[in-house]
């Protein structure tokens, strides 16, 4: 006989039974205007509930771009003054930066570690939480690029010069002088694996989690919320309309300064290694800092020509070739070098990295002077460099990631470049360590970082050819990085204009050269010292911005339409199931009907609050509110969003326009006409 209660027994108490106590209805805390109404017309912007907004792309908004005179003016004056100081008195810049560096490492080094740890945790949380299903674009929007093109562009965005400069030298240094507290003996098999693990820690997840943070936050802000492409736009949910004022502009100024110094450090490294290549190829004596400045000037001139002459499209295709060239050089070492040794080292090195990850992350200055020295020379420099690069790399990754879900974005951006870098460092570094153990002359950790890679290739076949290929790759990385970073800084100083004024772009390119020059001069005989000191000093303030960005990003995600629907779903199902069991036991089903007693899915949520509706209110070019129909995607004043605006193309890495695919073909990887590129729907720049 069934024990299931019948509806009659549960609905009304039978004779002799005590009335069943039911829960008291919760206080009606939702939007009181919606109670008792079946329609939300007139309550929300454009009569659409915040849980039903499909998202807004920045190209659907109506913006008038112009140079932000405050952002550009203040930043330009500061940079020009710094460059002038560095050129007139490089020694004093070196002294001041050294003292400031020592103070920073003693008192603020912890901030770099915390920024990295929190960034990793935040991005993994976003990826595996309910927010991972949110799309960096409108609901149902398809990715703009095929997966192959997307990953290839990421490779060129944030790797570049580092593979050549540190790929062989860093693991070799750790092999000869293992990091403190590792407990391994120098030049032993244990030291080999620890060297791979430590290099992977510096260049892997630690860097790309921060890039993913900035890239994901900017992509969400621009392609889901319709905000202009500025770092400050990400903080709209945290600081409100203050992001349009001086506070927001201060954030954008910090972003420009961080990009300038971070990119200048990379360009300085490229110049140092190119100088060593000139020595080796030409047989000339040591290239001095003056020689490095000449190299900087020549490459900067090449960048300016590409920026103003219209040949930048060809440079982008050349950059794609450069990615292939870099990977080809890595594979050449793999097959021409100790292949069997490297095959065994790859899995064991990755395992060591995974095993030691938390231990390496936990090292701080509290462990003593040896750790202080190591952290200052290596870990702190790298973390500061990554922080300084986050506006540049993050903005670029945001540009190419439209249409991806946050889960796919976080996991791919963190995992794929990390895997490529671990592979490259294991091959270059593993070959150098193997040669060192075999006693092959010319491979020494005492050599400068820019020298070791050339010595490595000198011990392999085609030794007369590979130095030229390395120099070509470095030169192209230099030109394309300067081109890309300058455009992004132009965007930051032009109120988010995706096609900034060329003169502004050229100015930032020249500013990068000036800062790189000062970095080289301030380091004296040790050019790398100047690069390290100044990069760390600039990165510390931006750490605060990154930590606040995490807060702002999650605040945005909490009020995303998908999150609102998820909250309603959870509340409705929970209430309905409890009520159904109370009344009908096992035999009940769910239906949707109006709830007027404060027990509805949105009873605890004010859906008319400006915090959740302000972002999708449409405005015209003057900032005045204007009518818009989300169903037909038409403006009440007759504005046509299809009006051509500035063409926006990727600038880093660089996949040409031919690799960009319409949404329908993006995942299928179908070939399309490269001339049919997308155009921005924004109003063209005034400048």
pLDDT band at 357 (very low <50, low <70, confident <90, very high): very high
Give the DSSP letter string of 586-651: T----------SS-STTTT--TT-HHHHGGG--B-TTS-B--EETTTTEETT---TTS--------
Inter-CA distances, 245 with 236, 241, 248, Å: 11, 7, 6
Return mean pLDDT, the chain. 82
How far does CA 338 lie from the centroid of its chain?
35
Res. 525 pLDDT band, cuts 50 70 90: low
The token duo for 8 is 């009659």
CA 607 – CA 30 distance, rounded (Å): 8
Residue of 101, 163, 7 whose CA lies nearest to 539: 101
- What is the distance between the alpha carbons of residues 84 and 77, in angstroms, rounded to a whole number? 11
pLDDT mean over 133-155: 86
> Angle at CA 180, nearest 5°, toward 178 and 181?
115
Tokens of 177: 């002088």
What confidence score (pLDDT) does residue 3 get? 46
User: What are 200-257's pLDDT values in tens digits?
Assistant: 999 999 999 999 999 999 999 999 999 999 999 999 999 988 898 999 999 999 999 9
Domains of the chain, CATH where assigned: 58-558 (1.20.1740)
Integer Cα distance of 476 and 290 in angstroms? 21
pLDDT band at 495 (very low <50, low <70, confident <90, very high): very high
Q: Quick one: which of 18, 6, 143, 30 has its CA closest to 596?
A: 30
- For the whole model, what pTM was predicted? 0.84
Q: What is the model's pLDDT at position 127?
A: 96
The pLDDT value given to residue 314: 55
Q: Which 8-state DSSP code applies to residue 89?
A: -
Which candidate, 68, 77, 73, 158, places its Cα nearest to that of 492?
68
pLDDT tens-digit profile of 5-28?
444 444 444 444 444 444 443 433
Say how many Å lie between the first and final Cα of the chain, rounded. Answer: 83
């Amino acid at each position: 006989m069934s024990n299931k209660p019948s509806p009659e027994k549960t609905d009304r108490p039978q004779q002799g039974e005590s009335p069943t106590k039911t829960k008291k209805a919760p206080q009606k805390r939702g939007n009181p205007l919606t109670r008792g109404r079946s329609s939300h017309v007139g309550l929300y912007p454009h009569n659409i509930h915040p849980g039903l907004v499909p998202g807004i792309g920045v190209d659907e908004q109506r913006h008038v771009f112009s140079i932000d005179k405050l952002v550009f003016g203040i930043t330009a004056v500061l940079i020009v003054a710094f460059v002038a100081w560095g050129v007139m008195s490089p020694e004093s810049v070196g002294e001041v930066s050294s003292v400031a560096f020592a103070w920073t490492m003693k008192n603020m080094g912890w901030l770099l570690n915390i920024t990295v740890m929190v960034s990793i945790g935040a991005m993994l949380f976003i990826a595996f939480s309910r927010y991972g299903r949110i799309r960096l674009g409108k609901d149902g929007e398809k990715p703009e690029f095929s997966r192959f093109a997307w990953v290839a562009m990421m490779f060129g965005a944030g790797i570049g010069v580092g593979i050549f400069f540190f790929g062989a030298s860093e693991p070799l240094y750790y092999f000869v002088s293992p990091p403190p507290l590792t407990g391994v003996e120098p030049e032993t098999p244990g030291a080999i694996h620890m060297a791979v693990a430590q290099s992977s820690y510096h260049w892997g997840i630690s860097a790309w989690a921060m890039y993913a943070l900035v890239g994901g936050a900017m992509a969400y802000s621009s392609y889901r919320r319709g905000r202009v492409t500025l770092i400050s736009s990400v903080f709209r949910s945290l600081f409100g309309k203050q992001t349009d004022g001086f506070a927001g502009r201060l954030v954008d100024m910090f972003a420009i300064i961080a990009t300038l110094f971070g990119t200048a450090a990379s360009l300085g490294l490229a110049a140092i290694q190119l100088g060593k290549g000139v020595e080796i190829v030409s047989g000339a004596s040591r290239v001095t800092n003056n020689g490095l400045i000449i190299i900087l000037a020549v490459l900067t001139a090449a960048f300016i020509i590409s920026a103003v002459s219209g040949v930048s499209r060809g440079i982008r295709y050349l950059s794609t070739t450069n990615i292939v060239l870099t990977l080809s050089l890595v594979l050449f070492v793999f097959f021409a070098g100790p292949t069997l040794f490297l095959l065994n080292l790859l899995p064991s090195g990755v395992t060591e990295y995974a095993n030691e990850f938390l231990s390496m992350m936990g090292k701080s200055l509290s462990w003593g002077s040896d750790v202080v020295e190591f952290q200052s020379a290596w870990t702190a420099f790298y973390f500061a460099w990554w922080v300084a690069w986050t506006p540049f790399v993050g903005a670029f990754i945001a540009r190419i990631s439209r249409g991806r879900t946050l889960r796919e974005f976080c996991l791919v951006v963190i995992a794929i470049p990390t895997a490529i870098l671990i592979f490259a460092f294991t091959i270059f570094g593993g070959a150098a360590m193997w040669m060192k153990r075999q006693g092959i002359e010319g491979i020494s950790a005492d050599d400068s970082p820019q020298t070791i890679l050339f010595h490595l290739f000198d011990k392999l076949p085609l030794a007369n050819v590979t130095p030229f290929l390395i120099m070509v790759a470095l030169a192209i990385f230099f030109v394309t990085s300067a081109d890309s970073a300058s455009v992004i800084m132009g965007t930051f100083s032009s109120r988010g204009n995706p096609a900034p004024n060329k003169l502004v772009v050229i100015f930032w390119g020249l500013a990068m050269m000036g800062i790189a020059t000062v970095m080289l001069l301030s380091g004296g005989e040790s050019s790398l010292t100047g690069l390290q000191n100044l990069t760390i000093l600039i990165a510390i303030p931006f750490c605060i911005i990154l930590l606040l960005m995490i807060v702002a990003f999650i605040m945005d995600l909490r009020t995303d339409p998908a999150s609102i629907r998820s909250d309603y779903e959870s509340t409705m199902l929970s209430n309905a199931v409890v009520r159904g069991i109370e009344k009908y036991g096992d035999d009940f089903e769910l239906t949707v009907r109006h709830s007027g007693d404060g027990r509805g899915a949105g009873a605890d949520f004010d859906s008319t609050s400006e915090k959740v509706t302000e972002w999708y209110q449409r405005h015209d070019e003057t900032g005045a509110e204007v009518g818009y129909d989300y169903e037909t995607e038409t403006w009440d004043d007759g504005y046509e969003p299809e009006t051509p605006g500035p063409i926006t193309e990727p600038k880093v890495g660089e996949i040409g326009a031919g690799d960009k695919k319409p949404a329908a073909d993006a995942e299928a990887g179908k070939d399309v006409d490269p001339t049919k590129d997308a155009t921005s729907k924004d109003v063209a720049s005034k400048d």
